[in-house]
Structure 1
């Protein structure tokens, strides 16, 4: 497991580091080598809260090219112009969009992006889930008692959004009760996010 420290102030409640694991390592490796991209363009897709925006910020901050986050919400003609500009100027273009939300209507753009490098963020494995729990807790300055990962990892669905939500819920309950984040709070947070059956598994 490795991490990327963001070389800028993250702001907007975003983590200051990117956890690199089984779910995103191939995408990270490709983003580090934009000179290898066909047509100097890559499309990065991934589920909500999977770190796509952080990767886009890192890509731009490292000076590797232009990144357009939330590309599915952009005017398609403008995106087509940006694709052309990447070919003419030689500056790589990264387009970031949510899974299953980008249905490209403009035929010229659809064909151009179809020939570009396609990157996807996959669900995290157990090791990455544990690292993400630690990263979200660190962001919130939340101290988790020993054994948190061992308890939470087998019970969490492999969803980046669910991992973030359960850490936020642990933090909320801990502050509300003015109590350390120990197993009873982990269980109640899982109950709220995943449902009581999942919280009591294993």
Structure 2
């Protein structure tokens, strides 16, 4: 029997401020984000693991301020100027990707200095603190180390089930409450794992016409979770 062809009909994730799920894991970072006038030098780093909500936060912050958004790895000295409006705002997504790339590091250094000169708020998202980016440019490293850091913590017991419900809803799936409860009790509090798990369950359900169930959740969670060493 030919395998059923499945189409990805996932709706774009809901990414407005109203769609952001607030808990103890992110409340402090959100508060810092909403007070850019308090950022030292007008710059801040937003740090969190994959899936922690950095892009969601940075996205609606940028929308509300009309900010430019640029990926860290695409920066270079020639294009930095175009991203920094006078008196405006700019977001560098995945700033850690500039580390170890001399051209991108120079671009980020130039953008940093321009932001100060033009009174432009600068928000940089990253997966880790600058000391772990592999930065080769000492002047850039010292400037990044001086910036305020808002850290997104691991999801707490309230956030993980709420995120699971949202991830299913983004795919137009109303997951049974017992599936959400089962997963929240057994999986690691890892939002990137939650995203990959919901995606895998959706694909498996469509491909093989299987219901979203605890059995399916258990099978795929086992596949996606590395065994203990």
- Normalised TM-score (structure 1): 0.83
Pair member with larger Rg: 2
Q: Structure 1 unaligned runs (5+)?
A: 1-10, 198-202
**Aligned equivalents of 1:99, 1:113: Cα separation in 2:** 12
Q: Is the 8 A contact 1:173 1:189 kept in 2?
A: no
Q: Is the 8 A contact 1:15 1:136 kept in 2?
A: no
2:93 corresponds to which residue? 69
2:185 aligned counterpart, secondary structure: helix
2:51 corresponds to which residue? 49
1:147 corresponds to which residue? 178
1:8 corresponds to which residue? none
1:105 corresponds to which residue? 136
How many residues are aligned here?
A: 187
2:224 aligned counterpart, secondary structure: helix
Considering only aligned residues, what root-mean-square deviation do their CA atoms show, in Å?
2.3
1:132 corresponds to which residue? 163
**Aligned equivalents of 2:121, 2:197: Cα separation in 1:** 37
1:24 aligns with 2:26: yes
Q: Structure 2 unaligned runs (5+)?
A: 1-9, 68-88, 99-103
1:120 aligns with 2:151: yes
